[in-house]
Structure 1
Amino acid sequence: MTTTATEQGLTTVELTKTFGGVCAVDHASVEFRHGKINAVIGPNGSGKTTFFNCVTGMIRPDSGTVRYRGHDVTGRAPHRIAAAGIGRSFQLCRIFPRMTVRENVLAAVRPRGLASLLRSAHDPAEVERARGWLRRVGIDHLEDVEARDLSYGQQKLLELAGVLMAEPETIMLDEPAGGVNPALIDRIATLVRELNAEGRTFIVVEHNMELVMSLSDHVVVFDRGRPIAEGPPDTVRTDPAVLEAYLGV
């Protein structure tokens, strides 16, 4: 039986989440392009991060379905979503500030506690794998530095290295360019392109429109909790609904 593009990738059907009567995600049906760089854009409060949280198990949707590679993963715990092949970063970096850079990357795939982390810290293969991802993101020279002593941009790279340590097929990035200087934005964009060329799918929430339009293959626009447009960047940027909702014209 032939596997369809929908069965390969991540889709949502009528995904809905309300908070105190406010519908943050409103019957959102989205089919992301497997093997491509997808972007999710929209004005503040349009439901992008809540949508991410519903997909990755951080919060449970009220209704609707999340499917990944043909399987219903709706409401699964975050570690089970990660085990299915979906990794994610957060709008505000989630790192262990008093642990070293190397320890942070090792801890990223160790949900079973301190004892497991200590074992992995003495596993030469795991340590070298962690160092390999630190080299890949460009901060291997900082492996013995405590994470709290990194710049914010370097912390973003550290979080990405931790995501990659789990070897996800699909990577969801929540505002990777937020608060980052232009040089590091370029580095992150280059990494995303390289990793995509190696077969990883990306879904990126981002406010930096220049980055979105230059990086993405497919753009989904949210407004008031639901997708209002989608397509290639050149198509989306001229869509009247997008111009009204997102650009305010």
Structure 2
Amino acid sequence: MTATATVTGLETRGLAKAFGGVRAVDGADVTFHHGKVNALIGPNGSGKTTFFNCVTGMIKPDTGTVTYDGRDITGKAPHRIARAGIGRSFQLCRIFPRMTVLENVLAAVRPPSVPLLLASARHKGDIDRARELLTRVGIEHLESVEARDLSYGQQKLLELAGVLMADPETIMLDEPAGGVNPALIDRIAGLVRSLNAEGRTFIVVEHNMDLVMSLSDHVVVFDRGRPICEGPPSVVQNDPRVLEAYLGI
């Protein structure tokens, strides 16, 4: 991965998505910056995951634009957005439960031919890289275990390894600490910090406020489908609009 000199990475302008009469994302203007750990927070139902899905091509927005490095990626297919340099994880881990840990990581780049890949010396580079990433996230000793036999936290680490296999410049994580024990939360936080130090940008949706405030450089707060506040953690956590959205005070 080559770090970019561009400050602004991902931008949305007027982004909107409705489901029936519910405007899940409502004219959202958001900017996330390259080289930073950005967080997207807000109460349940504030539109964070729908926003992620619109950005990454899982669903098409009704109106508005998504640009990345100045390129319009609005409504593009997920594989095209991935090729543009954006990887993502999901609230509920998307893994192949009956495939091994190693096979899952390889499937991130060669899904149709994993068995052939494992049997072929021509793809040794891919296999070596997959093993390096398993070591990086700390589950290399589980490479032959079926993914369904991992703990939920280990599945989160496996999903992250799969995201990294595609070598994205920007990584979008949807609740990486959800359902994970404190020791694995610390490991995930350490991975985000080290990967960010190497030049990768992060956009993280998370409800664990201690993690958000300790990890993030820039925080965007959503309420009712649009941003109501943004800035460094020290500013955001004391903003009265944020306290009202979360606590009703």
Q: Retained in 1: the 8 A contact 2:170–2:201?
A: yes
Correspondence list, 1:74-223, <5 A: 74-111=74-111, 113=112, 116-121=113-118, 122=120, 123-223=123-223
Deviations for 1:155-212, whole angstroms, at most 9, x for unmatched residues? Answer: 0000000000000000000000000000000000000000000000000000000000
Aligned to 1:225: 225
**In the alignment, structure 1 residue 45 sits paired with structure 2 residue 39:** no
Q: Deviations over 1:101-130 (max 9, x none)?
A: 00000001225x2xx323432321110000
TM-align CA RMSD: 1.0
User: 1:178 corresponds to which letter in structure 2?
Assistant: G
Aligned sequence identity (%)? 79
Tell me the amino acid that sits aligned with residue 229 of structure 1: C
Per the TM alignment, residue 4 of structure 1 is displaced from its structure 2 partner at its CA by 5.0
Q: Which residue of 2 aligns with 1:5?
A: 7
Amino acid of the structure 1 residue aligned with 2:247: L
Q: Return the alpha-carbon distance in structure 2 between the equivalents of residues 4 and 189 of structure 1.
A: 25
Normalised by the length of structure 2, the TM-score is 0.95
- Separation (CA, whole Å) in 2 of partners of 1:13 and 1:217: 22
Instruction: Identify the residue that residue 69 of structure 1 maps to in structure 2.
Output: 69
Match of 1:67, SS? Answer: strand
Name the SS of the counterpart of 1:188 in structure 2: helix
**8 Å Cα contact 2:100-2:144 kept in structure 1:** yes
Extract unaligned runs of 5+ from structure 2: none
Q: Give the Cα separation in 2 of the matches to 1:225 and 1:34.
A: 23
Q: TM-score, normalised by structure 1?
A: 0.95
> Deviating runs (4+, > 2 A) in structure 1?
3-6, 116-122
Query: What secondary structure, in the 3-state scheme, does the structure 2 residue paired with 1:246 have?
Result: helix
